[in-house]
Amino acid sequence: MQTKSQIVTTQAVIASEAKQSPSRKEEIASSQKTLLAMTRAEQLPQILEQIASNLYKGENEAVADLVQQALDQEMAPADILNGGLIAGMDEVGKDFKAGELFVPEVLIAARAMHAGMNVLRPLLAESDVPSAGKYVIGTVQGDLHDIGKNLVKMMLEGAGFETIDLGTDVRPDDFVAAVQEHHPQLLGMSALLTTTMPGMKATIEALEEAGLRDVVKIMIGGAPVTAAFAEQIGADAYAPDAATAVDVARSLVA
Amino acid sequence: MAEPIPIETLHPTIRMLSDEQIQAIHHTSLDILSRTGIVMKNEAGRELLLDIGAWESEGRIKVPPYLVTDAIASAPPRLPMFNRLGELTMPLEAGKVFFGPGSDCPFTIDVNTGQRREATAEDGRCFAHLCDGLGQIDFIMSMGTPSDVPTMDHYLHSFIAMIRGSVKPNVYTANNRQDMEDIHRIACAVAGSETELREKPFLLHYAEPISPLLFNDESVDKLLFCAEKGLPVAYIPSPNAGGGGPITLAGALALGNAEGLIGLVLTQLVRPGTPVLYGMNTAALDMKSAIVSYGSPEWPMGMAACADLARYYGLPVWGTAGATDSKLVDAQAGIEATVTIMTAFLTRCNLVHDAGSSA
């Protein structure tokens, strides 16, 4: 049910967007003109800044175009990734944590990140650029909830981590097998239920038995999970939200 | 129940949905079940549905509308709940509203120190005892998850704490079928026998599927256990708008309704006449903090709409009120509790839980 005032507001929003969007296009076009006018050395940091700021705004097409332009100008893929895409997602993460951005804005920014990554990925694979770290992630055995886990995964990818997502209801043995197969620096476990939290402890014990506990740093999270619980079961770290998870992951691989 | 006001002429109610809107949501739910289908992780639940005319395609079970219509017709419109003294204190039926607390909060505010800390089994008993003495509180839920018992046994200890603290009817949660069997054994001992428990049930089980349309093994197993024993059960989806459910309230209602109706179908297939409490928790996911907001306007609006759907189906209905997003007993807590309690009463939700909970 829409009230009259809601309809009026909606119309106002649509009108303002219609007004805004040509000017957005002009803005992008004019900044591209400015870029062309400059020498190559001057362009480099500017184009990275543009990638970052467009990513922040969720302009997925602009991000893909700008990444391609940067490549055409023979910038190194690793520089584009770190100085453009990751720098942009860092801003997103920072402002999300500060309560200035909300979940939908993070999702739109992540979509723009992926648009840029799609252009960059084949070249990154060729040039053997090291990722920020390899991260195996999953929801523990008996638990089928994955919204929080997916959000963490997305933010980690935004920070340049290579993630291996084992999905939900992941048995301790499957976490162990993934560590053996992928050799990650980090392992992340999620649980929404108090009754599935013991699955985190069981996984850590399984890693100990397999002699793999010391090769990987373990992070845990989820609504009922606390820092005290992480300490109690011998995990390396706890993160209360997706943005903090990135900071914690970075500090663990630093 | 609150003492009825002795005025026969004024019985104000509110409605959220028109008859056409109720029909539109009902039909959308039927479309969701027959076209999109569900993911059923419980083998017995899967066989029950497939044997009776549902079919499987692309890994999902599609449920035809007539199964839903049959289930609505076979579920009882009234759900009489007794206290442990054998008195009918909580007849869940049209026009009657009953209030009680919520369950399974990991933390509590210590009544002596005012500090937030993990809840204990003794807290559970004290909460039940307090509720036992409060005239406006009609049933018990465990409130706190006891941290001082083995983790896998905490539902069992919560149930025991409710029994020790109060004679009022209770709503209990459980981890799996093993928990259900243990709780059932205790309840039979308390009632005197399994027959006496069936005749005068003082307990109602609460379980949830996972929105959207995911029916996990344990929750279906617990639901089927209640149907096998003929004991009251509430199978309450939580399609929070923008999280597990569509961002619009109408979309979230259609999804939650579809999921709740599957619970109804399963129980009626096992035992026609199994007492089922219909309902859903339709809140908004707060996009700023990513928590399910108990104080959001969507919560009472969704509850009111859900009560309209229940009236259309002729089923007793679950409600949520007296809960807050605030971490303190402050003005925000007061406003959020007031709005939801008023809504629950004016829409005549029958069993209204979560008084005293803080998201």
Q: How far apart are CA A185 and CA A179, in angstroms?
A: 9
Q: Are B72 and B264 in contact (CB under 8 A)?
A: yes
Rounded Cα distance, B350 and B263, in Å: 18
B110, two tokens: 């210590």
Q: Where does the pLDDT of residue B2 fall: very low under 50, low under 70, confident under 90, or very high at 90 and above?
A: low
Cβ pair A89, A159 in contact under 8 A: yes
CB contacts under 8 A, B 105-124 vs A, are 106
CA distance A156 to A66: 22
Domains and CATH numbers, chain A: 4-126 (1.10.1240.10), 133-253 (3.40.50.280)
pLDDT digits (tens, 9 = 90+) for B286-326: 888 888 899 999 999 999 999 999 999 999 999 999 999 99
CB spacing of B290 vs A151 below 8 angstroms: yes
Per-residue pLDDT, A1: 42
Q: What is the DSSP secondary-structure string of B196-216?
A: HHHHS--EEEEE--BTTTEE-
C-alpha B164: how far from chain center: 23
Instruction: Quote the percentage of chain B above a pLDDT of 70.
Output: 97
Helix axes A242-253, A147-158, angle to 10 degrees: 50
- The two tokens of residue B39 are 């993911």
Coil, strand or helix at B292: strand
Band of the pLDDT at B34, cuts 50, 70, 90? very high
List chain A pLDDT tens, one digit each, 254 residues. 444 444 444 444 444 444 455 566 666 666 666 555 555 555 668 999 999 999 999 999 999 999 999 999 999 999 999 999 999 999 999 999 898 999 889 989 999 999 999 999 888 877 777 788 999 999 999 999 988 899 899 999 989 899 999 999 999 999 999 999 999 999 999 999 888 999 999 999 999 999 999 999 999 999 899 999 999 999 999 999 888 999 999 999 98
Q: What residue has token string 């046994």?
A: B153
Geometric angle at alpha carbon A242, from A226 and A121, rounded to 5°: 140
Partner residue opposite B175 with nearest CB, options A145, A195, A242: A195
| pLDDT of B9 over the 90 cut | no
Q: How far is CA B150 from the centre of its chain?
A: 26
CB neighbours (10 Å) of residue B37? Answer: 19
Report the gap between the CA of A3 and the closest CA in chain B (Å).
14
Q: What is the DSSP letter of B153?
A: G
The nearest CA of chain A is from the CA of B151 a distance in Å of 7
Average pLDDT over chain A, rounded to an integer: 86
Average pLDDT of the residues of chain B: 95
Q: Is A142 within 8 Å of A202 (Cβ atoms)?
A: no
Quick check: ipTM above 0.85?
no
User: Is the overall model pTM greater than 0.90, yes or no?
Assistant: no
Read out DSSP for A206-225? HHHHTT-GGGSEEEEE-TT-
The burial class, CB within 10 Å (0-12 / 13-18 / 19+), for A150 is: middle
Are B302 and B282 in contact by the 8 Å Cβ rule? The answer is yes
Domains of chain B: 13-353 (3.20.20.480)
Chain B residue closest in CA terms to A147? B243
